[in-house]
Amino acid sequence: MPEGDTVYRAARLLDRSLSGHTLVTTDFRVPQHATADLSGGTVVETVSRGKHLLTRISHGDDRWTLHTHLKMEGAWRVLGLEQRWPRPAHQARVVLTTATQRAVGFSLGIVELLPTADEESVVGHVGPDLLGPDWDEDEALRRLLTEPDRPVIDALLDQRNLAGIGNMYAAELCFVSGLHPHDPVAAAPDLRRVVRRARQMLELNKERAVQSTTGNLRDRERMWVYRRDRSACRRCGTPVRVTMRGPAERERASYWCPRCQPATTAG
């Protein structure tokens, strides 16, 4: 699933390309909105909220929000009117066309059209956004500490606690903080520092397409432990370990170095 900085960049792309422009045609290729038509409307802005995208459109006297989520395979692309689509047409879920270009949302996990006044119904549960104007470090800490026995990696991934961390950043955060991913939140000696590092990581990567937590942008050198199972730890040379967690339909991998991230609890 895309990380918060990936969604932030998608919002920037849509905002830069569509805001202030009139929609010549709109095509919502999902059953619940197949008959919706916002042609003639003006795109006001697109913003990100954690991993959610909110495209606000003024249409006559009405204000609508297109709520989309990339989930695992989704992507937004902005193309010239005659430009070849980078994915098959059957993967398109939303097509927004202006006089000069076309924004296509492929394989989007969520597509919802709702009055802008009702946005909180779809994103109100989201915690402080690491890249948003609502960022509140103290509130994020408070939410994380409400379940002190929860594995720290799961707490970091819970968008209700703080928004924008995916499995990659969660694994990397645990490594640079010296935390075993399956240890409880309460075992973290300085949780505030973990949260600050999370924001720093996303801030450093939000303007570049190639993500890195090591500072090295070369292939296979960009991450400390994520997807480096059985490779040598960059710090100590111990083989990086990986294990799967969660139910089969939502299974995720945990990556860590047994030496740099020793478990403080049994198991």
In this predicted structure, what is the pLDDT of residue 246?
Answer: 77
| 222 given a catalytic annotation | no
Q: How confident is the model at residue 267 (pLDDT cuts 50, 70, 90)?
A: very low
User: Can you give the pLDDT at residue 245?
Assistant: 84
Angstrom distance (rounded) from CA 245 to CA 240? 16
The rounded Cα 257 to chain-centroid distance in angstroms is: 25
Structural domain spans, the chain: 4-123, 137-256
By DSSP bridging, strand 25-28 and strand 42-49 are unpaired
Give the residue-averaged pLDDT of 203-215: 92
What the block records as the tokens of 230 is 């059985």
Q: What value does the mean pLDDT take over residues 118-142? A: 96
Q: Is 3 among the catalytic positions?
A: yes
Better-predicted residue by pLDDT, 114 or 219: 114
Q: Which of 2, 128, 151, 181 is catalytic?
A: 2
In this structure, CATH architecture of domain 4-123: Alpha-Beta Barrel (3.20)
The count of C-alpha atoms lying within 13 angstroms of the C-alpha of 217, restricted to the half-sphere facing its C-beta, is 6
Closest by Cα among 96, 100, 226 to 173: 226
At residue 248 the predicted structure's pLDDT band, cuts being 50, 70 and 90, is low
Confidence (pLDDT) at 241: 96
* Residue indicated by tokens 């707490």: 155
**What tokens were used for 255?**
């990556």
Confidence label for 171 from pLDDT (cuts 50, 70 and 90): very high
Mean pLDDT of 81-103: 97
Query: Residue 108 pLDDT > 90, yes or no?
Result: yes
Phi and psi based region of residue 132 (left: phi greater than 0; alpha: psi -120 to 50; beta: remaining): beta
Q: Within 10 Å of residue 233's Cβ, how many Cβ atoms?
A: 20
Catalytic option among 9, 49, 51, 102: 51
- DSSP-derived 3-state class of residue 94: strand
Once rounded to an integer, what is the mean pLDDT over residues 99-127? 97
- 22-26, 151-155, 183-187, 242-246: least confident range: 242-246
Instruction: Please state the length of the chain.
Output: 267
Mean pLDDT value of segment 161-183: 97
pLDDT of 228 reads: 93
Task: Look up residue 159 and give its DSSP letter.
Answer: T
Choose the catalytic residue: 143, 227, 234, 252. Answer: 252
Among the listed residues 3, 172, 206, 228, the single catalytic one is 3
Whether 128 is catalytic is: no
Residue with token string 């509130």 = 139
pLDDT at 130 over 90: yes
pTM, whole model, 2 decimals?
0.93
What's the token pair of residue 233?
A: 């730890």
Active site residue 181: no
Per CATH, the number for 137-256 is 1.10.8.50
pLDDT band at 249 (very low <50, low <70, confident <90, very high): low
pLDDT for residue 177 is more than 90? yes
| Cα separation, 219 vs 12, whole angstroms | 26
Matching residue, tokens 């948003």 = 132
- Where are the alpha helices (H) located in 124-220, listed in sequence order? 137-144, 152-157, 167-176, 191-205
Q: Above pLDDT 70, what percent of the chain? A: 98
